[in-house]
Structure 1
């Protein structure tokens, strides 16, 4: 239980850290991308506003001093000398009639033609094509001006930032995992000590109560021999039996939750054990007007402990018998598939539980009004879950329909 709790703590902590780091990395890289695209778009806007070139008079320095060029633009006096770009012009039929590559060395007229045709075919007005940021401007006469700005340097910087941020994030994640893994033992230690004290208390209490119960049982037997069976001796006998059953179940549950618990393994005929466990409830069902139907695949062999499997089947059948609607049905199905054994025990109910996961909590009862009338101790399903987990299986409760609940057990077929 402690190791399971520790693993869950590590998993939840690392999931939170991962999500936080993911949000931060996405935000940083998205911001970097938009700033890079925004800077290129501002340069394209200047070019578009001047027919595909930089206005030399606006970059003499006086324009910046006078404020005619807004300070938030990604342009400066050096921008015309730093920027590599080329343009293309089409007629009104979107046919390319002119390519200007004088402001760039890496693209010739033939390559510029291909880039322009690809942009026209995409029907987009702006975006990235390879390492170029482009913009398509429709003129008043119906012709189109295509502008391409070389953003290779900016994109390389952006990609390097992405790679570095991912590397730093991954290294940080590993480092944080090592810290969480190391300190998780210390964080879980108080919980472990509390659970250990609880287990020790249950064990000590079980041994201490056995003697008084034995004495009370002996005294009750003496009263029965001297005075015969009375209402009081019968009631006392029932309560003694109830307490003995409770202590036995608590001790079994505590034993199975121990980290060092190792069940005895031997070949067991699961089908036979289940059928034997169901037989008493068939007779009980006839008295309660409850139909018990069995669909058990024969000769399913499992490597397990016979007492544990018998206890598991009895607990699930007892639970179904206690909470079945009268008249109603209990259905038992056992089969094997792909190296797994599946046991499903379902029963009709008067009211469907609201929280199926809590049904396996110790001492939990969905219907408090039936807490005593239904009998039992409130730990039957907890003990069943502990048995299943000790064999690395799974158990769950779910509704089959509006009036039927099913308990499904899946065990590895070893």
Structure 2
């Protein structure tokens, strides 16, 4: 609109106005459509002659005030912009032609009323649409994911029930093997059978434990002394680790407190230490540390083991269930099932912590971070 007016030297054009170039299609301006807006203009001759004021389309601004506003704008380097007069915003644009400069001022009040009206309607329709969408989502999402929830529940029930059912034949097999040893003596076959029974029993126990963790068990969360728990686990597994030919290094700062379940934290440390011992290089080192974080605001549990080929494995996949780097499963007898680290991750998350796996300087490290507590915290 300012372009149309300034191109006509501040006068209202006669008839239909030529469409102006714009990214968004504009309305077709006519003399009637332009007459609804309030504007005024000033023309300054280059020869310092008297300024010509056109205030036919404005009532709230006097000619003297128009001259003062125009002189203030004329002294600026910008060819267009905004000025405020008596709490009303006027957009202006100036154009220099042969021998004179024309400045047109347009009252934005009517334009802003329309703009805010559009914004209000848009927000209202957007809010209504959001409410309708949320209502539809709540009503139909439960129905949509119901089969998935039922399938997951059946899967958990199957794992738990199958685990209990499998323990009975395993117990019978183990008893028959022991009876065979009593009758005919221990042999390579009976020893192998007992080892596989123990291995399968351990796998079933892990599967059942993992299923129970997924079923949102009731954790007895309270402020516990994890230093004592960590020492207890370390003392119990130290002989096993050393018996496997590994060097064991422990560093536990006393009286470290976090919010956790004592039994599940014991399980967490046991899983990480057992995993480190299984995959440690021969004559390698297994490390366990429980240290405070920065400013004693965190408790950091770190379990490491030597692993020369660690640069060939993807440490980011260690927490995937049943993940094994050896695709052919041709691992040693001590190799795990790919379940323990997934359980460890779930336990850490239940305690509000985070756990990551890293490889550096020939060692794989599992680092669990928890928020520190004091003995006074409940």
For 2:210 and 2:232, locate their aligned partners in 1 and report how far apart those are by CA, in whole Å.
Answer: 23
- What residue number does 2:116 align with? 159
Q: Are residues 90 and 188 of structure 1, via their aligned partners in 2, closer, same or farther at CA, if it must alter by over 3 Å?
A: same
Q: Are residues 290 and 109 of structure 1, via their aligned partners in 2, closer, same or farther at CA, if it must alter by over 3 Å?
A: farther
| Richer in helix (by share) | 1
For 1:361 and 1:271, locate their aligned partners in 2 and report how far apart those are by CA, in whole Å.
Answer: 28
- What residue number does 1:359 align with? 318
- What residue number does 2:228 align with? 272
Residue 318 of structure 2 aligns to a residue in which SS? Answer: helix
Q: Are residues 80 and 351 of structure 1, via their aligned partners in 2, closer, same or farther at CA, if it must alter by over 3 Å?
A: closer
Residue 239 of structure 1 aligns to a residue in which SS? Answer: helix
The answer to whether the 8 A contact 2:279-2:335 is kept is no
What root-mean-square deviation, in Å, do the aligned CA atoms of Structure 1 and Structure 2 show? 3.7
- What count of residue pairs does the alignment treat as equivalent? 358
Matched, 1:308 2:268: no
Instruction: Within 5 Å, give how 1:75-86 maps onto structure 2.
Output: 75-79=29-33, 81-86=35-40
- What residue number does 1:320 align with? 276
Q: Are residues 79 and 383 of structure 1, via their aligned partners in 2, closer, same or farther at CA, if it must alter by over 3 Å?
A: closer
Q: Are residues 139 and 217 of structure 1, via their aligned partners in 2, closer, same or farther at CA, if it must alter by over 3 Å?
A: same
- What residue number does 1:48 align with? 6
How far apart are residue 324 of structure 1 and its match?
4.5
How far apart are residue 101 of structure 1 and its match?
3.5
Deviates more, 1:273-282 or 1:236-245: 273-282
For 1:345 and 1:91, locate their aligned partners in 2 and report how far apart those are by CA, in whole Å.
Answer: 85
> Residue 222 of structure 1: which of 153, 158, 179 is its match?
179
For 2:60 and 2:79, locate their aligned partners in 1 and report how far apart those are by CA, in whole Å.
Answer: 23
TM-score (norm 2): 0.78
Matched, 1:105 2:59: yes
- What residue number does 2:337 align with? 377
Residue 136 of structure 1 aligns to a residue in which SS? Answer: strand
For 1:91 and 1:399, locate their aligned partners in 2 and report how far apart those are by CA, in whole Å.
Answer: 77
Residue 365 of structure 1 aligns to a residue in which SS? Answer: coil
For 1:91 and 1:280, locate their aligned partners in 2 and report how far apart those are by CA, in whole Å.
Answer: 100
For structure 2, list consecutive stretches of 5 or more residues without a partner in the other structure: 21-25
For 1:295 and 1:178, locate their aligned partners in 2 and report how far apart those are by CA, in whole Å.
Answer: 55
Q: Are residues 289 and 151 of structure 1, via their aligned partners in 2, closer, same or farther at CA, if it must alter by over 3 Å?
A: farther
How far apart are residue 48 of structure 1 and its match?
2.1
For 1:150 and 1:209, locate their aligned partners in 2 and report how far apart those are by CA, in whole Å.
Answer: 85
Q: Are residues 174 and 345 of structure 1, via their aligned partners in 2, closer, same or farther at CA, if it must alter by over 3 Å?
A: farther
For 1:309 and 1:229, locate their aligned partners in 2 and report how far apart those are by CA, in whole Å.
Answer: 39
- What residue number does 2:191 align with? 234
For 2:241 and 2:367, locate their aligned partners in 1 and report how far apart those are by CA, in whole Å.
Answer: 18
The answer to whether the 8 A contact 1:296-1:333 is kept is yes
